Amino acid sequence: MTEVFLSLAIGVLYAAGLYLMMCRNIAKFIIGLGLIGHGANLLIFTAAGLSTQRAPIVPPGVTIPVVPIVDPLPQALILTAIVIGFGLMAFVLALFLSAHEVEGTDDLEKMRSTDQ
Amino acid sequence: MNLLLPAPLLIPLLCAILSLLGRRAVGVQRFLAVSGCCLNLVVSACLLYVVDNEGIQVMQAGSWPAPFGISLVVDRLSAIMLTLSGLMGATVAVFSLAAMDQSRQEFGFYFFYHTLLMGVNGSFLTGDLFNLYVWFEVMLMSSFALMSLGSERAQLEGGIKYVALNVLSTAFFLAALGVLYGMTGTLNMAHLATIVRSAGEQGMLTTVSLLFMVAFGIKSAAFPLFFWLPASYHTPPTPVSAIFAGLLTKVGVYALIRLFTLVFVQDAEFTHRILLVASGLTMLTGVLGAAAQMEMRRILSFHIVSQVGYMIMGLGLFTPLALAGSVFYIIHHVIVKTNLFLVAGVIAFRTGTNELKALGGFVRAMPWLALLFLIPAMSLAGLPPLSGFFAKLMLIVASFRESSWVIAVTALAVGFLTLYSMTKIWNEVFWKPMPAAIDEAIAQRLWTIRERVCLFGPVMALAACTVLIGFCVEPVFALSERTAGQLLDPDEYIRAVLTGSVRP
């Protein structure tokens, strides 16, 4: 059941993100990028399989964990992706800020000088 | 031997750290840039020699056995890419000593340059899909910084377009990774290859492979997702454009070749057909876009797009000769394209502009530069006996053998249109009489010896490579064939990573 809810949440995040990315306003575009990033993280979490098994911690006195345990790798992947996404977001916002100062606009349609 | 393997990562990392520590001493950074990049080139060339003679080299990071830890793997394709990245790194580093302005050099240009090379080399070295994502991010972050370093208006505008689409492509890549991990439970590419070959759910695998195709298609600027490239590559200073043009899209092409020869071959009829169609459209749109441009670097940027089409064409045909053609094309293209951007950089350094209308008369003012432009330009258009001719020949012969007439005719036509663009640059920049403003600009500034060496040295070195490949085509052709053979028979790769032995 949780899978269904999470899948819906992922769908909503992607849809909202893509919708915002199609706006002309750069600030909305950046929020859209962020939403899609979160959607991808949640997707990894869900696609790798949800379970209510034991945490993958080796109990004292033995050398291997007692099965069944939860696969810890997806969470490590997501953690890495979140950190990278945070760095990216910080850079994109800084870039937006300086572009806004130089251009005086946040409208993508008006930033056409490099296209022609 | 195992020390050689991580060296292409460690050398740029060390140089980056030292550049950051000595950030007030630009002289130290300049020394580090040139010496570090040259060392990197030497190490990568040694690696290529070792891999070609002794087979695939593998290192398990932290000695974790294969599917659990991160493997660094170098096969022939990786080694060729590493050597190319080393060569471009070294030549552009020398070029930027003179062509990069002082304020950017003081503001961390060399630091980002090293981290960019580290990201590129990491992508070529890794045998793990998630690790590939991380290296992509390292490379992208550095390229974002290099793209917008200096904060000129055009740079910021181009930067936003560049950043937006590339961040989107990494989000797709990440989502595809997640789904693939959910289906197979592994991220090690060799392990993935074995699982995919024995898996039952082929339909879902093909869907995921298309998601990867979109993600890497954006990265390699393939049709229809290439718009970020011509909108941004002409905005940063020339050394930055040159290293981007040489290496970044090729990382996307490398990732496509790696995944669609090693892992996703279960439905080659379908996926590789899509790649073939996309490659034809990429060639056409790129070359037609270039025909409409009137600025040197913009024309060259559009030609990157059209040339990426040729590289993917070989993958789409998926025969030994076609793949060998792709590898040969990458070798030829990286050298030639960087060279052309460097020539554009010399002209911009002398005159302050790359607009075709404002330039002229360089054949009389700088006859040597005219010759140095002609070599890569004719090679790009595919005139014998230069490297581009043989690269195109291989691909076109391969497509005739497969009876793929449409793609063969497209490739030929695009070759002619490329010649048209190159003649346009030749006529406008070199042949027509020199405008008075340019004449004065050139007369006012005299060359220093250092500028001559730093600007012309790399251009001449790369032009010499082009001519050398053209005249000694046999060894390069044989190497490309061996590479294609290794790619099409992934057993050696899988065995080397999972069991640690090259021999069966």
Largest distance between two CA atoms of chain B: 72
pLDDT at B172: 92
Q: Which chain B residues touch A46 with a CB distance below 8 Å? A: 182
pLDDT(B244) > 70: yes
A113 vs B: CB within 8 A: yes
Model pLDDT for residues B58-98, shown as the tens digit of each residue: 988 878 887 888 899 999 999 999 999 999 999 999 999 98
Ranges A33-47, A64-78, B173-187, B224-238: which has the least confidence: A64-78
pLDDT score of B152: 84
Residue with tokens 């980002």: B112
Residue to test with chain B: of A95, A103, A105, A113, most B Cβ within 10 A: A95
Listed residue (B251, B345, B243) closest to B33, CA to CA? B243
Q: Is the pLDDT of residue A36 over 60?
A: yes
Given a contact cutoff of 8 angstroms between Cβ atoms, the answer to whether B358 and B351 are in contact is: yes
Q: Does A28 touch chain B (CB under 8 A)?
A: no
Q: Is A34 on the interface with B (CB under 8 A)?
A: no
Q: What is the DSSP letter of B150?
A: T
Residue B113: which pLDDT band, with cuts at 50, 70 and 90?
Answer: very high
- A109 at interface of B, judged by CB pairs closer than 8 A: no
What pLDDT band is residue B257 in, cutting at 50, 70 and 90? very high
Q: Taking CB atoms and an 8 Å cutoff, what residues of chain B touch A81?
A: 133, 174
Q: What is the pLDDT of residue B220?
A: 92
Token representation of residue B161: 């377009």
Task: Name residues 37-96 of chain A within 8 A of B (Cβ).
Answer: 37, 39-41, 43-49, 71, 73-74, 77, 80-81, 84, 87-88, 91-92, 95-96
**What mean pLDDT, rounded, does chain B reach?**
90
**CB-based contact (8 Å) between B236 and chain A?**
no
For residue A112, the chain B residue with the least C-alpha distance is B157
Q: Do A33 and B167 touch (CB under 8 A)?
A: yes
**Amino acid B224: pLDDT:** 85
Does A99 contact chain B (CB < 8 Å)?
Answer: yes
pLDDT at B132 over 60: yes
Mean pLDDT of B199-203: 72
> Which among B140, B145, B174 has CB closest to A81?
B174
Q: Which of residues 97-126 of B touch A (CB under 8 A)?
A: none
Q: For residue B475, what pLDDT band results from cuts at 50, 70 and 90?
A: very high
Question: Cβ distance B407 to B280 under 8 Å?
Answer: yes
Distance from CA of B172 to the nearest CA of A (A): 8
In B, residues 401-420, which contact A (CB 8 Å cutoff)? none
Are residues B333 and B283 in contact, defined by beta-carbon separation less than 8 angstroms? no
| CB-based contact, B148 to chain A, within 8 Å | yes
Which whole-number Å values give the CA distances from B93 to B31, B32, B150, B448, in the listed order? Answer: 10, 10, 18, 18
pLDDT digits (tens, 9 = 90+) for B425-455: 999 988 888 887 777 777 777 778 888 889 9
- Predicted local distance difference test score (pLDDT) of residue B503: 54
What pLDDT does residue B467 have? Answer: 93
Identity at B71, one-letter amino acid code? S
Residue in this structure with the two tokens 């070529």, named with its chain if needed: B124
Average pLDDT over residues B241-264: 93
Residue B1 confidence (pLDDT) above 60 = no
* A20 and B CB contact within 8 Å: no
**Chain A residues lying within 8 Å of B137, measured CB to CB:** 84, 88
- Output the CA–CA distances (angstroms, integers) from residue A59 to A67, A74, A106, in the order listed: 11, 21, 55
DSSP string, A59-93: PTT-SSPPSSB---HHHHHHHHHHHHHHHHHHHHH
Top residue of B144, B156, B229 to mutate, by most chain A CBs within 10 Å, is: B156
pLDDT at B500: 72
Chain B positions touching A113 (Cβ under 8 A) are 153-154, 157
In the DSSP assignment, the letter for residue B431 is: I
At B478-504, the pLDDT tens digits run 999 999 999 999 888 999 888 876 555
pLDDT over threshold 90, residue B312? yes
**pLDDT tens digits, B154-200:** 888 888 889 988 999 999 999 999 999 988 888 999 999 999 888 76
Q: What's chain B's Rg over C-alpha atoms? A: 22
pLDDT for A43 beyond 70: yes
Query: In this complex, do A114 and B158 lie within 8 Å of one another by their Cβ atoms?
Result: yes
Residues of A in contact with B145 (CB under 8 A): 91
- Between CA B255 and CA B259, with CA B258 as vertex, the angle to 5 degrees is 85
pLDDT tens column, B99-111 = 888 888 888 899 9
| Model confidence at B355: pLDDT above 90 | no
Residue B58: phi and psi, rounded to 5, are: -130, 140
CB contact under 8 A, A95 and B159: yes
Candidates A49, A102, A114; nearest CB to B235 = A114
Split at pLDDT 50, 70, 90, the class of A3 is: confident
Hey, what are A43's tokens? 């997707």
Which residue did the predictor score with more confidence, B504 or A102?
A: A102
Quick one: which of B229, B29, B254 has its CA closest to B121? B254
Q: Residue B62: enclosing H or E segment and its boundaries?
A: none
Q: What is the pLDDT of residues B5-64, one digit of tens each?
A: 999 999 999 999 999 998 888 889 999 999 999 999 999 999 999 999 988 999 888 788
pLDDT digits (tens, 9 = 90+) for A9-23: 999 999 999 999 988
Amino acid present at A46: T
- Residue B201 pLDDT more than 70? no
**Closest to B240 in 3D by CA, of B160, B297, B282:** B297
Name the minimum distance, in Å, from the CA of B232 to any CA of chain A: 7
Which residue, among B487, B375, B370, has the nearest Cα to B426 in the 3D structure? Answer: B370
Per residue in B360-371, pLDDT tens? 888 888 888 999
Of B394, B396, B400, whose CA–CA distance to B477 is shortest?
B394
Mean pLDDT, residues B123-151: 92
User: Which residue carries 């030292």 as its tokens?
Assistant: B18
Backbone conformation region of residue B185, classed left if phi is above 0, alpha if psi is from -120 to 50, else beta: left
- Residue B103 has a pLDDT of 86
Other beta carbons within 10 angstroms of residue A71's beta carbon come to 14
Nearest to residue B234, comparing CAs of B79, B59, B355, B81?
B355
Q: What is the dihedral of CA B460, B466, B467, B468, to 10 degrees?
A: 100
Give every CB contact of residue B298 below 8 A, 6+ residues apart in sequence: B230, B234, B290
Distance CA B342, CA B262 (A): 35
Distance CA B146, CA B231 (A): 16
C-alpha distances out from residue B117 to B16, B37, B187, Å: 10, 9, 24
Q: B188 forms bridges with which residues in the sheet? A: B128
B465, pLDDT greater than 80: yes
Q: Nearest 5°: phi and psi at B501?
A: -120, 140
Residues of B in contact with A98 (CB under 8 A): 148, 151, 156
Query: What is the identity of the amino acid at B488?
Result: L
